[in-house]
Each structure stands twice: as structure tokens, then as C-alpha cells.
Chain A
Amino acid sequence: EPEVTQTPSHQVTQMGQEVILRCVPISNHLYFYWYRQILGQKVEFLVSFYNNEISEKSEIFDDQFSVERPDGSNFTLKIRSTKLEDSAMYFCASSEDRGRGTNTEAFFGQGTRLTVV
């Protein structure tokens, strides 16, 4: 069964360092998303990406964050200068479509736990 894969499963980084979280969406999917969950808090929307550009982003997704689809298969989230409060589980998701049709289910990856020390 196709799945969204995220690497690494756990990353520890020092405050101020750049970190790149990697995701491989399902191959025929066109819409990509990042969400995060700070420990004990809600899962929060960060950004959606379609046709090589950001389609929506939340207030959390400030200039420290960027997304990229560098090679047609990977989808990455970069945090330029990590802060302690960036520590969270980051989920990548993809969907074939996002309309009202039948192929709109979003598939989520297992998540990357980012710990900033």
C-alpha cells in the first residue's frame, strides 16, 4: 500500500541551527502539506503546496520556514534558525486532489520528532 514516508524519525539539533525535514509523498499525489504538534498540544497546520508553490500558510509559517520540492519526489521543510519552541512532531501529508471528489483523502506520514536543545 502506498504511504508517505518521513525521514528522519527523530532529529536533535542545537538552537540556531538549520534543519531540513524530508518527506516522500505518494507518487501520484499533487497536493502536499506540513503540520506540527507540540507535545501536549493540538496538531497545527503549517503550509500547503501545489504546483511548485505555496497555496496556503498559517501564521506559524513565518520567514524562518520554507518548503521545497527539489526533485519531483521529495518534499522538504526547512527551518533556518531553530528555536526551542520549534520542538515538535512534524507531519507531512499528501493528497491526489483536494476538491469534493473521491480522491481527496490526505495521507499522513509517521512524523519527524524535532528536538531543539
Chain B
Amino acid sequence: AQSVTQLGSHVSVSEGALVLLRCNYSSSVPPYLFWYVQYPNQGLQLLLKYTSAATLVKGINGFEAEFKKSETSFHLTKPSAHMSDAAEYFCAVSTRESGGGADGLTFGKGTHLIIQP
């Protein structure tokens, strides 16, 4: 079985400040991990994914995430927040051998990122 926990349903940061969105996973086998973003009135967009290559994964829009097996974490960070980063962010895990697509993803509840001017 696999599961994802996102700490904090809402995170508020000032423009220009560090963004840190937390994600912890549970998996009985090596996981594949994803971060998706949802802007208002839009679909889910893939930010980045970890599929057992480099533990530090760089994504779009300046975001990156680090896979830490010892902490079962995959936290999302961005050094400097921009107003356009305001959105809902979802962490997801898959243990499917494929590692790609959207087969059997288990999502977290999401974190709403608020950017203060």
C-alpha cells in the first residue's frame, strides 16, 4: 500500500521568500514521486517527478524537490516566491513499474500556496 501526507493545507509566504511545501510518503517498495500544480480553473500540471535517478529533481518554474529515503520525504522548494506561484500543489506517489503516466497515482490532499505581496 502507498500513501502521501502533505503537511499544511494552506501555506502563506511573502513574495521573494523561500517556498517549502512538505510531502511525506509511505510505500512498501521504492516509490516514484510527483508534484503537480493546479492553477485556478485549470487542470493538474506536472511540476517534477522522481523516478529513482538523481535524488534532487529540478522542475519547471524554478521549483525543485529532494528525495530523502531516510526521512520518507519529497519536499518541494523554490528559493524566491513569485505572485504567479499562488496555486494548489499536490504531491503524489506511485509504485507502478512504469514510473510514468498517471497509472494508479496516490495523491495527497493538496496544499494551497498563498503569496503575500
Point out residues on A near B: beta carbons under 8 Å: 3-4, 31, 33, 35, 37, 40-45, 48, 55-56, 58, 91, 93, 95, 97-101, 104-111
Of listed A37, A55, A104, A106, residue having the most chain B CB within 10 A: A106
**Which residues on A sit within 8 Å (CB–CB) of B45?**
107-108
Question: Within B89-117, which residues are at the interface with A (CB < 8 Å)?
Answer: 90, 92, 96, 98-110
CB–CB B104/A58 < 8 A: yes
Point out residues on B near A: beta carbons under 8 Å: 4, 36, 41-46, 51, 90, 92, 96, 98-110
- By beta carbon, the residue of chain A nearest B108 is A42
* Apart from A48-B102, A91-B44, A98-B101, 7 more pairs, CB < 8 Å: A3-B43, A33-B102, A42-B107, A43-B90, A95-B101, A95-B102, A97-B100
**Which residues on A sit within 8 Å (CB–CB) of B109?**
40-42
- By beta carbon, the residue of chain A nearest B36 is A108
**What is the interface of chain B mostly: helix, strand, loop, or mixed?**
loop
A–B Cβ pairs within 8 angstroms, 14 of them: A31-B101, A43-B107, A43-B110, A48-B102, A91-B44, A93-B43, A93-B102, A95-B100, A95-B101, A104-B100, A105-B46, A106-B102, A107-B43, A109-B43
Could you say which of A40, A91, A98, A105 contacts B43, with CB atoms under 8 Å apart?
Answer: A91
* A7 nearest CB across to chain B (Å): 13
**Which residues on A sit within 8 Å (CB–CB) of B108?**
42
